[in-house]
Chains A and B, each alone.
Chain A
């Protein structure tokens, strides 16, 4: 019998019970605890969508008679054109540069690729407004569409590079070989197999780029290019014209949601799956041959422009400034405030992400899905809009309560970066499946002991990563900070912005430098952590 072909096809009558009733580990929890989880999850989802709600409420109250003339004017059309065309161009450039850079680093014998792999990512740790500040201080005359396209591409292409590099690293190298064996040439293979396989990663990166473009304020202000975001900011803080800011915000949110939806549609039903285990073997590296020098030159140019210019400019400005412009104790107090707000936001966002992650990973059904999606929807709401919505709310319904208070700023950060926290926390909760907790229980450990010895050790790195991610983003956040900064307080970003606006470049530079220092090291650590994730979940558990 031991040698019988596995004739285990159940006979007709042994048909399985429909799957719905099966107690998978996901659906295993019942009772009071899960109701609490559902309740908390729903509350968090509501909080995440509240700003959008306030905005719509505000628009409804202003009425169409107020909004229509504000919306249907030449300014709106030209802003729309500026925003959309720049977003499209930068997204395209980033897709090309990010994908090519990832392919060269991951799949060719590019000399020094380990160093390049680090250098190529660093620009993402430099706030976009600092990058454009660096360019502006060296080339005071740059201005307009071309400048914005160039600077933003250099600042955000790593958002495409990172996911594509990860996807290439995990892709099955045999696919390319199969394509070659089927008669496809090198270029055709690159296009039809390599790029097609990394399609979802490229799309995901492009989505992030487009969303950043729609919500960016500082860089465009410095480069003198008007988009929806700069206009909203001006209307609100300079013109005190809140109906106009509100109307434009609605259009901006609509654009972002279109981008989100568009990514979902183009993603389609196509899935990139692989049959074997992850990274079954190391991919064969393509030999660059005579292309080696031009490619190296390209990398040098990219790093020089994306990293050399902003960093060089700041270092130069700080050195040139000497003692006279060296900031006093104020930089310390600004750094302190920055760290305090960012850390509090990191804590709040991570704690809020935890129940959502638990809900979406351990429960099936519409509600957990809806909760998770509504958090990701926040990606489509620019930080400025969240800040405006919160200040409207406080002004209209709470008699200014909390407006320009630390609580509100921290809340705004936490909301804005909740999706980031969720990504990290979700990945780490997935590292601790309920099955492991059950094994712990079966080995004689109480619920508390299992929490201490199994769940927390597994989830903690991800919680820390989520915290860091939010912390970093909050440290380098400018737009919402300018709107919501508590009276009398200063952060690195607002101090930098104040000096920059007065064209005191030398005085602004140390603040930019400190922001980069605070952000760069943790970004590197984080990058390493995310790199490790897929292989860990692929082999363990």
Chain B
């Protein structure tokens, strides 16, 4: 259990600034996901923490030790006591599973109990003599994790470790990894571009954008209360609707909607200024037309059925002509395209002052 603290980190390649003033804290024993699109600098951040790249300026502290800092000698990777799980697993192809897992252990431990213990932990007892190419992708990834955990590292770094797996496998391997990390109480930093992965696995999510961390929050906080419209769209699906601020609510084509934090007074905006309002698809409730309620009329544009749920695109009668709302509904009711429905927005919403040239959609 080691705390990771990154402060004021800068890094550029040639003239290209990749990281600019990154601050990040990963509390001991917790998992933080760095979420960002490809090229946002998230992998560079991970590689600097791992010690594969030097920072230009700023500090990286692991527990009590500053491993990379302006006035400190840089600690090489092998002395940082970290575990690293790269994207492709990168198992050593010339070594068996057991030898891979034992790679970082002292010589006398390599054939011993610790390796068996780890094999059992990842549910692969008896497969220690296989070679990496004889394993499935999910197994390879679990071996890579066991190898990283073998030396009981203070911090484990996961670089998009699930992106090479197919969708069904990804969910289960993710769950396994999450359980293992929890069980071993290892501090972990996970880099990913998959918001689903970040939200479902992490204790904290930090979104990185153009080389800086623009928000760090719990998964719930990140999803419900993103810092700006751009983030809202990055973390999950979002309806961004024009509105106008009022003291504790916003006026929208769907009526007056209560603002998040209105009750504790944290939502303060100048009344009568234009706003961008975030409505998550699951906040859009649909009722068959004619049912009792206060809904606004609208028309179904299309209907995508996923079994457990359905995603529906709607054209509300109110509001600008090109306004389209995305709604998430339980899969048991069908809304055929073209049918009329009534729309109700549930729960408080988040809104930001609209920039003059803000494009909505």
Q: Decide: A536 and B133 in contact? CB cutoff 8 A.
A: yes
The stretch among A65-73, A453-461, A501-509, A519-527 that forms the contact with chain B is A453-461
A440 located at the interface, meaning its Cβ lies under 8 Å from any Cβ of chain B in the complex: yes
- On whether A1 and B133 interact (CB within 8 A), knowing A20-B16, A438-B77, A458-B93, the answer reads no
Q: Is B40 positioned at the interface, with any CB of A under 8 Å from its CB? A: yes
Contact B13 A22 (CB under 8 A): yes
Inter-chain contact A14/B47, CB cutoff 8 Å = no
**Cβ-neighbour of B195 out of A8, A19, A445 (below 8 A):** A8
B269: CB under 8 A from chain A? no
Q: Does B249 contact A (CB under 8 A)?
A: no
Among the stretches A166-174, A224-232, A391-399, A428-436, the one at the interface with B is A428-436
Interface 9-residue window, one of B23-31, B48-56, B114-122: B48-56
B138 contacts the other chain (CB 8 A) = no
Chain A residue at minimum C-beta to C-beta distance from B48: A23
A17-B16, A28-B52, A28-B53 known; A2-B39 Cβ under 8 A:
no
Beyond A17-B39, A438-B50, A441-B76, whether A11 also contacts B151 by CB under 8 A is no
A442 to B359, CA, bound (A): 45
Question: In the bound complex, do residue B93 and residue A441 qualify as a contact, i.e. CB atoms below 8 Å apart?
Answer: no
With A435-B86, A442-B84, A442-B148 already in contact, the answer to whether A22 and B53 are too (CB < 8 A) is no
Q: Considering the complex, which residues of chain B in the window 196-220 have a beta carbon less than 8 Å from any beta carbon of chain A?
A: 196, 199-200, 209-211
Instruction: Tell yes or no: A276 within 8 A of B by CB.
Output: no
Say yes or no for A18: interface residue by CB 8 A criterion.
Answer: yes
B104 cross-chain contacts in A, Cβ below 8 A? 443-445
Taken together as a complex, chains A and B put the C-alpha atoms of A27 and B43 apart, in Å, by 14
Q: What distance in Å separates the Cβ of B152 from its nearest Cβ neighbour in chain A?
A: 11
Task: State whether B306 touches A5 (Cβ < 8 A).
Answer: yes
Within 8 A of B (CB), among A1-59: 1-8, 10-23, 27-28
Assembly CA distance A433 to B331 (angstroms)? 47
B86:A439 contact, CB within 8 angstroms:
yes
B38 contacts across to A, CB distance below 8 A? 16
The residue in chain A whose Cβ has the minimal distance to the Cβ of B311 is A5
A439 to B140, CA, bound (A): 14
A305 to chain B, nearest CB (A): 40
Across the A-B interface, give the 8 residue pairs with the lowest CB-CB distance, nearest first.
Answer: A21-B16, A16-B39, A443-B104, A540-B93, A11-B233, A442-B84, A539-B133, A441-B77
B interface, CB within 8 angstroms of A: 12-14, 16-18, 36-41, 43-44, 47, 50-53, 76-84, 86, 88, 90-94, 103-104, 131-133, 147-148, 150-151, 157, 171, 193-196, 199-200, 209-211, 223, 229-230, 233-234, 236-237, 304, 306, 308-309, 311, 359
For the complex with contacts A11-B234, A442-B78, A540-B132, 7 further pairs of A-B residues with Cβ separation under 8 Å are: A7-B236, A11-B230, A17-B18, A18-B16, A21-B18, A439-B86, A442-B50
Please name 8 pairs of A and B residues whose Cβ atoms are closer than 8 Å in the assembled complex, sorted by A: A7-B237, A16-B37, A17-B40, A17-B211, A438-B86, A442-B148, A444-B78, A445-B104
